[in-house]
Amino acid sequence: MSTGTDPSTGTGPRPSAGTGPRPAVPAPAAGGGVHHPSRAAIPAPHLRRDRWWLAPAATTTGLLIFVVYATWRAFADERYYAAPYISPFYSPCFATRCVPMKDGASWGLFGDWWALSPALLVLIFPLGFRLTCYYYRKAYYRGFWASPPACAVAEPHKKYTGETRFPLILQNVHRYFFYAAVLVAAVLTYDAAIGFRNEHEEWGHMGLGTLVLVANAVLIWAYTLSCHSCRHIVGGRLRTFSKHPVRYRMWTWVGRLNARHMALAWASLVSVALADLYVYLVAGGVFDDPSFF
């Protein structure tokens, strides 16, 4: 069936939609994986005119700075306790070789045989939680692997296998790292509470370090509870919210946090590094912890 006139000549019937010749698909670009007959025939790598590369570049820079700093502090094995403050990188301590920490979370589960830094025994849990986090996947996939580098920008890979093969299939353990992250957040909360005691174990003290540890604990909890897995645990698999008003209310609270998951991910990443740095400087005698009372 024809409709109207042929726009190329102005006369005669116009071919029905879908019956005309298809545009030729350009040959795959060298190293490109987006030029395929099933995709739009756009030869250009992208049509964006904004500075799309700023976001992945900033993400890569920020993550690299944290990785370098965290690696240095994890292997430093020093200056992680300045009574009553404990670095979040070294708490809880699972080795007996940790420096004595008054009422700190020192659980010598690994005994005396562990000769490396005790931070390596605990950082695996928050690190695993963040590596498998949905937001951080997007961040380092784009920043380090260019998969893709930005929205509507062609990625350089020839094919896409998703997270169905090793090692990316291990991302599915994120929900289990969430449980470990909750325990770590609880320990950091306990450490922040200890910060309200002075070096003589007397309650009623508050210094700048106390505020640093409290702020870090709050941000760690906010980031942990804003996790997509937490949202599913709280309100997932419910057929009718009206029959579960408590879980529905909790689900809405977690949902509000989840909407700010990216911001909380970065804020907590900065706070945990600053908390460790603060303890490191105080323990090294760089300055004395200012005491408010």
Per-residue pLDDT at 107: 79
Lowest mean pLDDT among 148-162, 167-181, 202-216: 148-162
Per-residue pLDDT at 284: 95
- Mean pLDDT over all residues of the chain? 85
pTM as predicted: 0.81
What's the pLDDT tens digit per position in 113-145?
888 899 999 999 999 999 999 999 999 999 998
The number of residues making up the chain comes to 293
For residue 258, is pLDDT > 60? Answer: yes
Q: Are strands 85-86 and 81-82 parallel, antiparallel or unpaired?
A: antiparallel
Confidence of residue 250 (pLDDT cuts 50, 70, 90): very high
For residue 80, is pLDDT > 80? Answer: yes
Per-residue pLDDT at 105: 80
Distance CA 291, CA 179 (A): 35
Per-residue pLDDT at 271: 98
Per-residue pLDDT at 199: 81
Per-residue pLDDT at 166: 81
What percentage of the chain reaches a pLDDT higher than 70? 87
282 vs 113 pLDDT, higher one = 282
For residue 158, is pLDDT > 90? Answer: no
Per-residue pLDDT at 32: 46
Most distant CA atoms of the chain, gap in Å: 97
Per-residue pLDDT at 61: 97
On whether the CB atoms of residues 115 and 85 are closer than 8 A, the answer is no
Backbone φ and ψ for 207, nearest 5 degrees, come out as -120, 180
Lowest mean pLDDT among 26-35, 70-79, 195-204, 281-290: 26-35
For residue 9, is pLDDT > 60? Answer: no
Distance CA 37, CA 19 (A): 17
The two structure tokens encoding residue 284: 């090294």
DSSP state of 13: B
What percentage of the chain reaches a pLDDT higher than 90? 56
Per-residue pLDDT at 35: 63
Per-residue pLDDT at 259: 95
237 vs 287 pLDDT, higher one = 287
Distance CA 7, CA 166 (A): 53
Per-residue pLDDT at 222: 97
Per-residue pLDDT at 236: 85
Kindly state the average pLDDT of the residues 97-117. Answer: 82
Per-residue pLDDT at 44: 74
Q: Which of 122, 74, 80 is nearest to 279 (CA)?
A: 80
Kindly state the average pLDDT of the residues 63-67. Answer: 97
Confidence of residue 28 (pLDDT cuts 50, 70, 90): very low
Q: Which of 166, 207, 226, 216 is nearest to 188 (CA)?
A: 216
In degrees to the nearest 10, what's the CA dihedral of 47, 51, 52, 53?
Answer: 120
